[in-house]
A and B are shown apart, each in its own frame.
Chain A
Amino acid sequence: MSTRLSKGGRLVDTSSTVAFQFNGKTLTGHAGDTLASALLANDQMLVGRSFKYHRPRGIVASGAEEPNALVNLGQNGKFEPNQRATTTELFDGLSATSQNHWPSLEFDVGAVNQYFTPFLTAGFYYKMFMHPRPLWKHVYEPFIRQSAGLGKAPKEKDADRYEHFYAYVDVTVIGGGVAGLQAALAAGEAGAKVLVMEQTAAWGGRAVVDGGTIDGMSAETWVASALARLEEMPNVTLRRRMMGAGVYDHGYLLGYERLTDHAPDQDGPRHRLWRIRTKQIVTATGAIERPISFAGNDIPGVMLASAVRDYAVNYGVAVGKRTVVVTNNDDGYRTAIAMVEAGQEVPAIIDARGQGAGDLGEKARKLGIRVALGMAISKVKGGKRVEGVELCRMEGNGGAILETIKCDAVAMSGGWSPVVHLWSHCGGKLLWDEVENHFKPDATRAPTGADGKPFVLTAGSASGPLGLGDVLADADAAGKMAAEAAGYAPATTPAPAGDARDENQMKPVWMMPANPVYELRMKMWLDYQNDVKVSDVQLAAREGFESVEHTKRYTTLGMATDQGKLSNINGLAVLADSLGEKIPQVGTTTFRPPYTPISMGAIGGAARDDVFQPIRKTPIQQWHEDQGAYMEPVGQWRRPYTFPRGNESHAQAVSREITNTRTNVGLLDASTLGKIIVKGPDAGKFLDLLYTNMMSTLKPGKCRYGLMCNENGFLMDDGVVARLDEETFLVHTTSGGAAHTHAHMEEWLQTEWWDFKVYTADVTEQYAQIAVVGPKARMVLEKLGGMDVSKAALGFMDWTQGKLGGFDARIFRISFSGELSYEIAVPASQGRAFWDALMAAGEEFGMMPYGTECLHVMRAEKGFIMIGDETDGTVIPQDLGLHWAISKKKEDFIGKRGQQRTFLASEERWQLVGLETVDGSVLPDGAYAVVHGHNENGQRNMIGRVTSTYYSPTLGRGIAMGLIKHGPQRMGELVEFGKVDGTTVMAKIVDPVWYDKEGEKQNV
């Protein structure tokens, strides 16, 4: 059983008591514990169930690489799934529950899955659930969704706050072990601006656990003195609980700082995402120990040897009373020695090598530890915890059991792999080290920056060296090189002297024993989190998955939340072995950021709720909101859809607004309309190229409707252009299209016709624009007074300016409704006052405000198109019967050549018509016109679709616009439209202009 030791624990305060809950049970730990160390101190070996087979799982590691100990953390608005117990600092009141089991952790029904292991092999889902297809949807998928998966998704809104932080530094050092600290010292002494980040709460990394001497000091003392020196440097920033999450192009780096995870009652943001631009990055990320693949290596109590040591030294927790160490290298011996020195039993070190260890082997033997050379674990005995191990010869198939040793923990060491993730994110390449049997950074093929020179360096074990002396020398050189590359002269002080490494060579052991029988291989776990075993990877290889990237996807090896930190090297070694190739030829899968999962909250930062996307507001917006208008999003604007009164439904309100506007007068806030000034001697020439029709012939004082296409010929925007004077045009665009249209103009002016003398300016927000619409519109304006708005003075499609009721007004006689209509622009600062003045003046004429839906219905009654309804990026003006707005005289305009292509000039294209259902109902939006027969996908053949559809109170029936094949030649014919409920409805093809065909009403 695992227990708290009476002594030891350099990180915990044994005088303190911290209470926490696990699965509803109250337990205690000490300040400084992680959730993992506290659980182990309480003999909680079983912490979760595995993903696929629901096998009992325990803690394997002591850091970010932990695959098993994932818990649901917190409650309600602070609930978060899939948190690693090993990186969760303990605090008073912490509440955690284990994941992926039903009904309980101790008794899980899903565990029957492990008896179906032979059926749940690699590619099982692909093979099994292909046929019959209905079973997948109704039986397999619901069952799998219920039984698989890790933590539960949070149900409540996140109660915490998050932020982004920008930093610009010379050298960023990632990792706060002895290598990181030395690299930071070297760069800091050179004068570079340095940021050092350490993902845990404690500085020092492995060296302070494993011991050794640096410059004659203990590693622990050296770390303290290095920190003291760094803290004195004003150019160095030290940050704990901050992980280097990802390295990106041109020195962009994401840092993930966890500010209050360990102290949730503290004020301030929970996480901070650092968006760093750094000239140089030094990754001092150390190395991760590899597990060994032997049967039963997933039973709770089987742990990494280094983790067993960490728990004893850092937290004063003995993982087992009798710990068997199994290793293929000298480092595993350190764990055996540490456990014996902590007063625990180590019945044997099982060393797969024939020759055993060097100095450490001698030390172990002096402590009386038995060393079994050339031996292997054939199988771990136990269920929810380790009960013993069966030994066999390393060179064999594991069939002959030589001995059984009783124990309650197994510490495994399969050698060390440098943490190369950050090096690899932005293109750093790797080399296979034949001695240590790991991938390490190839310094000659580093990620390069904007200047073509490397910007990532590695330091210490992250470069490959494992001995303390080599680590410090490498780190010192990396710090100096980084400072120099950032433009600083490094000092000539030598690197600190550390212990030399005197160890025997490790032996690559990818399976234990060397040639295991199938029964053993199917119990050898490679990827704990995704339940991938040696037999799965071998099966994938037999079935032809030769590429490591394919094998990964077929078996899901390394695809879990831990991204295969423990499993990848072992997995691809097994694959290489199965394929009869060497490991470097098989290669690694791609390392992608982030290094460990970061919170969605940190990614979003402050951009949530009201500031998720800023909303553009017209000067009259507050009035609309005060009236209780129902608002709808239009681009980044919010516009009133309708202004309901009393108990009116939205449909009733829209009908009232339409009828009132057509009989009395209505008022529309059209301020969102795009307004762009185009000015200069060549403005007319430019607009002739921009629009399909002629604009240069427009006289000052006049307005003209125009269409704008892209170079492909497709309609992109429309609107009314007013000529203000000889050199100045005011271009109106759609509400959502102003920014896009302005950018379109600038692109052509700057990159194609840069000799044109034209300036453009988007003045959309400089003006409030209000449309006064209806038969009584003129009376309202005349009541305000100050300008002659008679037909003689201001005819249809004229504009004028002056003082209207004391306001600086520019009045356009344009109509999007078919009614007598004035669109009046005033400076934005006068917008609200002008609106109020109009409301007061219009009261006696029955004036009512109207919203966007009323505007839409009125324009449809007139057969006017709407960009985004009748157009979708594949429609040309000719499809919409707008030939009259396309100049035949002009040699060129944007889109003219595109429209000449045969498929756009074809008579077979769907063309705009009006549609009336025979029963008067409203056609469903987007409905397709269907005819006899089916296409190759089994769908009804289609000859058109509905683009706009409304109930028209003016006509008392549903009206629609649509694009129909040969539509204009088929007036009066009936077409069948599919409805959502599967039935169809017949509609008659009619002229799309229903209201005032002659245009008399707008021209009074």
Chain B
Amino acid sequence: MLTLQCPYCGVMAEETELSAGGEAHLKRFGPGSSDADFETYMFMRENPKGVHFERWRHSNGCGKWFHAARCTVTLEVFGTYTAQTSTPPADLLDKIRAARPGFKWREFE
């Protein structure tokens, strides 16, 4: 039973108010893309033991999608941020690097 702060309405939301939306910052591959790119986009997912970037929706609240950076081992939440971005904010990445030296997630380290 996690609690995450919705960056839109500011509520500290209980997990029962939220819906999980899987891995964050996927790049969409549509018509014209290669089979390999489409496969990666549809099916290949990170499975980190450590910090993960995820999509959540405040579905039983304000209805907004947002992003969260959360450690899958300790459940520490490093921050939540807007859904309208294709990369994690720089200050959040700095915070994670400081707390977890050697941190790496997809192209971010």
User: Which residues on A are within 8 Å of B, measured CB to CB?
Assistant: 248-252, 277, 427, 448-452, 711-712, 743, 746-747, 750-752, 754, 891-892, 896-898, 900-901
Q: How far is the CA of A400 from the CA of B85 in the complex (A)?
A: 80
Q: Could you say which of A248, A746, A896, A901 contacts B35, with CB atoms under 8 Å apart?
A: A901
Tell me if A277 and B99 are in contact (CB < 8 A): no
- Is the Cβ of B76 less than 8 Å from the Cβ of A711? no
Chain B residues numbered 17-61 whose CB sits less than 8 Å from any CB in chain A = 21, 28-33, 35, 38, 42, 55, 57, 59
Docked-complex contact A897 and B74, CB < 8 angstroms: no
Bound CA span A898–B37, Å: 12
Which partner residue on chain B sits nearest A713 by CB separation? B42
Contacting pair A450 B59 (CB below 8 A): no
Q: Is B93 an interface residue (CB 8 A)?
A: no
Once the chains bind, are A751 and B3 in contact (CB under 8 Å)? no
- Chain B residue numbers with a CB within 8 Å of A750 are 64-65, 83-84
Write the nearest CB–CB distance from B50 to chain A, whole angstroms: 12
The minimal Cβ–Cβ distance linking A972 to chain B, given in whole angstroms, is: 37
Taking a contact as CB atoms closer than 8 A, the residue among A712, A743, A751, A897 that contacts B31 in the complex is A897
A residues in contact with B42, CB < 8 Å: 711-712, 898
Chain B residues whose C-beta falls within 8 Å of the C-beta of A896 in the assembled complex:
30-31
Q: Are B57 and A450 in contact (CB under 8 A)?
A: no
Cα distance, A897 to B3, chains bound together (Å): 36
Q: List 6 A-B contacts (CB under 8 A).
A: A250-B75, A277-B14, A450-B77, A451-B77, A452-B99, A892-B31
A897 touches B65 (CB 8 A): no
Name the distance in Å between A683's Cβ and chain B's nearest Cβ. 19
Q: Is B89 engaged at the interface, CB distance under 8 Å to the other chain? A: no
**Could you tell me if B31 and A249 are in contact, using CB atoms closer than 8 angstroms?**
no
- What's the least CB distance linking B68 to chain A, in Å? 10
**Most chain B CB within a 10 A radius of its CB, from A249, A754, A897, A898:** A897
Cα distance A844–B88 in the bound complex, in angstroms: 68
Find B38's partner among A248, A449, A743, A897 (CB 8 Å cutoff). A897
Additional pairs, 12, CB under 8 Å, beyond known A448-B75, A452-B71, A747-B57: A248-B1, A277-B14, A449-B76, A746-B63, A746-B65, A750-B64, A750-B83, A751-B55, A892-B30, A896-B31, A897-B29, A898-B38
Of all chain B residues, which has the CB nearest A712? B42
Considering the complex, give the chain B residue whose CB is closest to the CB of A451: B76
Taking the nearest CB of chain B, how far is it from the CB of A574, in angstroms? Answer: 32
B2 interface residue per 8 A CB criterion: yes
A906 to chain B, nearest CB (A): 15
Shortest distance in angstroms between B30's beta carbon and chain A's nearest beta carbon?
A: 5
User: In the bound complex, do residue B65 and residue A747 qualify as a contact, i.e. CB atoms below 8 Å apart?
Assistant: yes
- Report the separation of the CA atoms of residues A897 and B40 in the bound assembly, to the nearest whole angstrom: 13
Find chain A residues with CB under 8 A from B99 CB: 452
In the complex, the answer to whether A250 meets B64 with C-beta atoms within 8 Å is no
Q: Are A897 and B2 in contact (CB under 8 A)?
A: no
Contact pick for A754, options B14, B35, B55, B83, CB 8 Å: B83
Chain B: minimal CB distance from A342 (Å): 48
Q: Please, how many angstroms separate the alpha-carbon atoms of A747 and B14 in the complex?
A: 20
**In the complex, which residues of chain A have a beta carbon less than 8 angstroms from the beta carbon of B57?**
743, 746-747
A249 touches B63 (CB 8 A): no
Which chain A residue has the least Cβ–Cβ distance from B5?
Answer: A450
CA–CA, A252 and B15, complex, Å? 11
Q: Which of A743, A751, A752, A754 lies in contact with B59, CB distance below 8 A?
A: A743
Question: Closest Cβ of chain B: how far from A252's Cβ, in Å?
Answer: 4
Query: A752 and B28 in contact (CB under 8 A), knowing A249-B1, A450-B3, A712-B42?
Result: yes
Q: Are A448 and B76 in contact (CB under 8 A)?
A: yes
Query: What sequence of 0s and 1s flags, for each residue 8-19 of chain B, a beta carbon within 8 Å of any chain A beta carbon?
Result: 000000110000
Partner of B74, one of A452, A712, A892, A900: A452
- Does the CB pair A250–B83 fall under 8 Å? no
> Which residues of A lie under 8 Å from residue B21 when comparing CB positions?
747, 751
Give the distance in Å from the alpha carbon of A452 to the alpha carbon of B64 in the complex.
Answer: 26
Do A897 and B1 form a contact, CB below 8 Å, given A450-B75, A452-B99? no
CB neighbours of A251 from chain B (8 A): 3
List A contacts of B35 (CB < 8 A).
901
A898-B38 Cα distance, complex, nearest whole Å: 8
In the complex, the chain B residue whose C-beta lies closest to that of A750 is: B65
Near A by CB (< 8 A), chain B positions 56-109 give 57, 59, 63-65, 71, 74-77, 83-84, 99
What residues on B are CB-neighbors of A449 within 8 Å? 75-76
CB distance A897 to B30 under 8 Å?
yes
Within the complex, what minimum Cβ distance (angstroms) separates A254 from chain B? Answer: 10
The 8 closest A-B CB pairs, nearest first, are: A452-B76, A252-B1, A754-B84, A750-B65, A450-B77, A448-B74, A248-B1, A250-B3
Q: Which residues of the other chain, A, contact B15 by a CB distance below 8 angstroms? A: 249
In the bound complex, how far is the Cα of B22 from the Cα of A747, in angstroms?
12
State how many angstroms separate the Cβ of A517 from the closest Cβ of chain B.
48
Closest to B73 in A: A427
A249 and B38 contacting across the interface, CB-CB below 8 Å: no
Q: Whole-angstrom distance between the alpha carbons of A900 and B33 in the complex?
A: 10
Closest B residue, CB atoms, query A749:
B65
B20 CB to nearest A CB, Å = 12
Q: Which residue of B lies closest to A250 (CB)?
A: B3
Check A249–B2 contact: CB distance below 8 A. Answer: yes
Q: How far is the CA of A743 from the CA of B38 in the complex (A)?
A: 23
Q: Are B30 and A277 in contact (CB under 8 A)?
A: no
Q: Is the CB of B59 within 8 A of A249?
A: no
| Complex contacts, A712 vs chain B, CB 8 Å | 42
**Least CB distance, B21 to chain A, in whole angstroms:** 7
Closest-by-CB residue of B relative to A711 is B42
Chain B residues with CB below 8 A from A747, complex form: 21, 57, 65
Smallest Cβ distance from B15 to chain A, in angstroms? 8
In the complex, chain A residues whose CB is within 8 Å of the CB of B63? 746
Given contacts A747-B21, A751-B83, contact A277 B3 (CB under 8 A): yes
B55 contacts across to A, CB distance below 8 A: 751
Contacts of A891 in B (CB 8 A): 31
A892: B residues at CB distance < 8 A: 30-31
Which residues of chain A have C-beta atoms less than 8 A from B59's C-beta?
743
CB nearest to B15 among chain A residues: A249
CA distance A746 to B65 in the complex (A): 8
Contact partners of B71 in chain A: CB under 8 A: 452
